Amino acid sequence: MKKFLLLVFFVSYSLFNLAQQPATLDKPAQLPATPDKIYGELFREVQMNKIFPDGKTFVDCIPKRNPKDIMYDYGLRKGSHFDLKKFVDENFELPPTPQLNYITQEKDVVMHIKNLWGVLRREPDKPVEGSSLLPLPYPYIVPGGRFREIYYWDSYFTMLGLKESGETEMIRNMVSNFAYLIDTYGHIPNGNRTYYLSRSQPPFFALMVDLLAELQGDSVFVSFLPAMEKEYNFWMEGTEKLKHGQASRRVVKMMDGTIMNRYWDDNPAPRQESYREDVETAERSKRSKTEIYRHLRAGAESGIDFSSRWFADKKNLGTIQTTNFIPVDLNALLYKLELVIARARLLNHDEKGANEFRKKADTRLLAIDKFCWNKRINYYTDYNFIIQKQSDIVSPAGMYPFCVFNRKLDYMSLLALKSGVVVKEKLLKDGGIATTEHNTGQQWDAPNGWPPLEWMTVWGFERCGQRELAREIGTRWIRINVDVFKRTGKLMEKYNVADTHLDAGGGEYPGQDGFGWTNGVLLKLISMYGLPKEN
């Protein structure tokens, strides 16, 4: 009887403890199927026939019934008189975009953004058979428009604004969601969609943890240490097998034996959300299709999709060569990850482990200086390890080291002074910083400016003593955001910084409004520099 009572007590106690834990979702036994696998020929026909103007629409659709039944009926009905559009309408629900129903009533842009957090908020997800959405256990903020899910690097810049709005709980929820993704899939995918699982995005997770620790204390570092280490292992996988001059997935062993990183994607096929566009790009390029698909997908992992930064001829998408580059921004972020892991290990009473990661960070810092500091230009640029040559493309990616390097301030200030001359000459426009000097028709080239790159530029110059230039860039960016808001009632994904009266353009889809990272960066900059004075 005593044994029975003890068993009952143990089970009851265990159930009570489980009930006190944060909500979680069951881990998948295997990676979920992607839309091309589930819908096969139907997927290809819908995308290649452009049933929807935006290729992302179909892969985000929700099936109205069992996908197997849909595919069975498709097999029976397809033929010469088959109405593909009607079949899709009958069997799929279009993805919702509720923020389009939001009518702007606020004249004050700060109040508008604070109200938008509720519009862009999503509650914990429930699994739906046949849906591409990867369910998350905690609430989160989406960017807006066609971007109906959480995005990796977007979220850091969104969190800057959430912090200014006092939304600490939401920041914690989003960091916890990313830790869940790392624990479940081994990395943070581009976004929480099945078709994004083969790639990640710029690794801002350590900076998110850093931001949350500012609000909730050093225990945050220890709590998220396992997730940070697991993400680090994802980026470094294959290191031990490499010989000098070799590359594997996201890791490159330079000729001098230094380990650095590149962007990559594990799936050498057209991106499912841009299937038709990628097929057409590959055909026009006359190159190996698997080769160009890999470069296109790596460009998507970089977040800079697409830009002359990755083009061999600086003009045409068909010359894209993303995986050939050691990107300065990626390696600066991994340096930061190494530093934050070192700090977390020290807080976790692991001094030996902390020293190990500090040494990794020190080695990477020296490598970034060696391969990416362009002495001819006086600016950090990417390095093409295939031809062993530095790029001469000037972009805000070169500002990342100024944001994260842990070295003597007087030395960084000297480099920032030199880089400031370059930025003013090549990138500074009426509305802020242009993404590159080149106007190629791609969305991550001139004349467009993007919130994350504006912030990294401002932060880098502020941190390294070029405060006047930082303020100038920041106030120009605030002004264009506010002016467009007054004219349209919207905050946009990107802006035309060269002609502030024109919309931004380029890329594979129309300009989107909402917009998570715009809202975040704008609130942060307003807290630093204030709103522009009325004329």
Of the candidates 273, 329, 445, 493, the residue annotated as catalytic is: 493
Element (H, E) at 480: helix 467-488
CB atoms within 10 A of CB 529: 17
Instruction: Report yes or no: 220 and 212 within 8 Å, Cβ to Cβ.
Output: yes
Q: How many residues does the chain have?
A: 535
Query: Closest by alpha carbon to 31, among 181, 154, 152?
Result: 181
Compute φ and ψ for 460, nearest 5 degrees. -60, -45
Per-residue exposure over 10-35, b if at least 16 CB sit within 10 Å of its own CB, e if not = eeeeeeeeeeeeeeeeeeeeeebebb
DSSP-derived secondary structure for 298-350: HHHHHT--S-GGGBSSSS-GGGB-GGGEE-HHHHHHHHHHHHHHHHHHHHTT-
Per the listing, tokens 């046949």 go with: 130
Per the listing, tokens 């975009």 go with: 97
Distance CA 416, CA 465 (A): 8
Distances (CA, A) of 158 to 103, 141, 341: 21, 8, 23
User: In which region does residue 79 sit, left (phi positive, over 0), alpha (psi from -120 to 50) or beta (all else)?
Assistant: left
**In what side-by-side order are the strands of the sheet with 251-253?**
247-248, 251-253, 259-261
Exposure on the CB side of residue 494, measured as CA atoms within 13 A? 24
Structure tokens of 317? 């998408």
Say whether 417 sits in a helix, a strand or coil: helix
Structure tokens of 511? 């300009």
Of the candidates 301, 305, 338, 513, the residue annotated as catalytic is: 305
Taking the alpha carbons at both ends of the chain, their separation in whole angstroms is: 84
Annotation says 305 is catalytic: yes
User: In which region does residue 416 sit, left (phi positive, over 0), alpha (psi from -120 to 50) or beta (all else)?
Assistant: alpha
DSSP-derived secondary structure for 451-474: HHHHHHHHHHHHHTT-HHHHHHHH
DSSP-derived secondary structure for 109-121: HHHHHHHHHHHHE
Sign of CA dihedral 309, 313, 315, 317: negative
Distance CA 329, CA 340 (A): 17
Annotation says 183 is catalytic: no
Output the furthest CA–CA distance in the chain (Å, rounded). Answer: 84
Active site residues: 305, 493
